[in-house]
Amino acid sequence: MTDTKKSIHGEWSSRSAFILAATGSAVGLGNIWKFPYITGENGGGAFVMVYLLCVALIGIPIMIAETMLGRRGRENPVHTMQVLSVEAGADNNWRYLGWLGMVAGLLILSYYSVIAGWASAYVFKAFSGSFFAADVTAIEQLFRDFIGSPMQLIFWHTLFMAATLLIVARGVGNGLEKSVRFLMPALFVLLALLLIYAMTTSGYFQGIHFLFSLDFSKLSGNAILIAMGQAFFSLGLGMGCVMVYGAYLPKDISIAKASILIAAVDTLVALLAGIIIFPIVFTHGLNPGSGPGLIFETLPIAFGTMTGGWLFGVLFFVILVFAALSSAIALIEPTVAWLVESRGMSRERACLQSGLVTWLLGFVTIFSFNVWADFKIFGLTLFDLLDYVTANLMLPIGGLAIAVFAGWKMKRQHSEQELGLPNPHYQIWQFLIKYIAPAAVFLVFLDVVGVL
């Protein structure tokens, strides 16, 4: 591999462009919608603690590894793995890692887009004043009526998919980079405002207590797997999207520093979302474990009662939709890059085809909230099952493979050269990626199947 090899899709224009785009891919519904509701379902503090440990010990080392593989391979995940396994003298089957990632990305996007559709619909509900002076039951009813209507969900899902594809069709520099530049600061400002609101509620300390007090008796093996899956999901790891973003990364950027920064921002946003949501939950006697509707049943109460709530409500959901968009484009990019590079398709056509498949798959999620709501496998609705299999199984398996490849297969001199880390930083990363991250993922799997 030569140092001058570049991706045919272009490169990030600067270090900040990469960090913005990678943060855009990390920060999304996973932080604001998913983190609070799964924390609520899994009992709070102890779950959060395991999540944080997973981010630090598994997430960050794997993020560094995945970015590194992408930058060295400089192509779509399938090809990158092929090129790198030749270079490392490893088995050609490593390319299936790329396949696993593409499938996981499309499956995740199929439901991600439906939920992002909910957020889009809530922009208009906020705009039309639906939350104003509404009581808790009215807000809950509003949400139930909404998800009970397949036609409405289809409409918003379609709109969101169309927006995603439009951005992706325009390519790296134009589409991906610009859409995140204003997003993060705006998101932080609104979260700060909501935080101030949450601090004035009577349930604030109860919320904080729920989020940070450690009661390990509430923690099941399955909850540990969910926490680990969430670390992968929230950082966007294990499915090749960090790998393709890495492929567009110029040589002179420190991968380790960028990864730590991105993980820190991502974690901060998730924790902020929790600190905002749970006080509202406890102030109004709601159930923290009410599931995927949690933010749609809590935040409108805040917007309906706080000063300026109308404006903040509209802005909040607009920003949430944009945050979801910048993640959605990352979910589909590995497949699009593969179709363009390996199948010789135009970017437009690649977007259209992969988008169509994803859009259709989205119907499974849509119906699982209404017409198929009673259809359950292992006690999970089809949406829950899809989410479980992708986030808790496919992403960690992908991550495990990345760790094994980067730690054991790739030549040490190559990873040293890519990362450019002084010792002992390089040695710490090596230790984490070779031993800690793979062992942790493996143990969590064993625990869930009941071996431990």
Q: Binding residues for ligand PHE, per CB under 6 A?
A: 25-26, 28-31, 108, 233-234, 236, 239, 241, 327, 330-331
Q: Count CA atoms closer than 13 A to 91's CA, side-chain side.
A: 8
Q: Residue 377 forms beta bridges with which residues?
A: 380
Using DSSP's 3-state secondary structure scheme, residue 380 falls into strand
Name the minimum Å distance from CB 86 to ligand PHE.
27
**Cβ-based nearer residue to ligand PHE, 76 or 234:** 234
User: Per the structure block, which two tokens stand in for 412?
Assistant: 């040490």
User: How many Å from the N-terminal Cα to the C-terminal Cα in the chain?
Assistant: 44
Which residue minimizes CB distance to ligand PHE? 30
Name the minimum Å distance from CB 294 to ligand PHE.
15
Name the minimum Å distance from CB 203 to ligand PHE.
26
Name the minimum Å distance from CB 330 to ligand PHE.
4
Q: What is the full DSSP assignment across 406-433?
A: IIIIS-HHHHHHHH-PPTTHHHHHHHII
**Cβ-based nearer residue to ligand PHE, 44 or 236:** 236
**Cβ-based nearer residue to ligand PHE, 267 or 430:** 267
**Cβ-based nearer residue to ligand PHE, 62 or 139:** 62
> What gap in Å lies between CA 162 and CA 181, rounded to an integer?
21
Name the minimum Å distance from CB 99 to ligand PHE.
16
Query: Which ranges constitute the DSSP H helices of 201-235?
Result: 204-212, 221-235
Name the DSSP letter for residue 9. Answer: T
Name the minimum Å distance from CB 387 to ligand PHE.
11
**CB-based contact 233:32 (threshold 8 Å):** no
**Cβ-based nearer residue to ligand PHE, 26 or 226:** 26
> What gap in Å lies between CA 283 and CA 298, rounded to an integer?
10
Name the minimum Å distance from CB 26 to ligand PHE.
5
**CB-based contact 311:133 (threshold 8 Å):** no
Name the minimum Å distance from CB 257 to ligand PHE.
20
**Cβ-based nearer residue to ligand PHE, 63 or 421:** 63
**Cβ-based nearer residue to ligand PHE, 17 or 331:** 331
**CB-based contact 297:143 (threshold 8 Å):** yes
Which string of b and e fits 240-277 if b means at least 16 CB within 10 Å?
bbbbbbbbbbeeebebbebbeebbebbbebbbbbbbbb
Beta-carbon neighbour count of residue 314 at 10 Å? 18
Q: Letter for the amino acid at 394?
A: M
Using DSSP's 3-state secondary structure scheme, residue 91 falls into coil
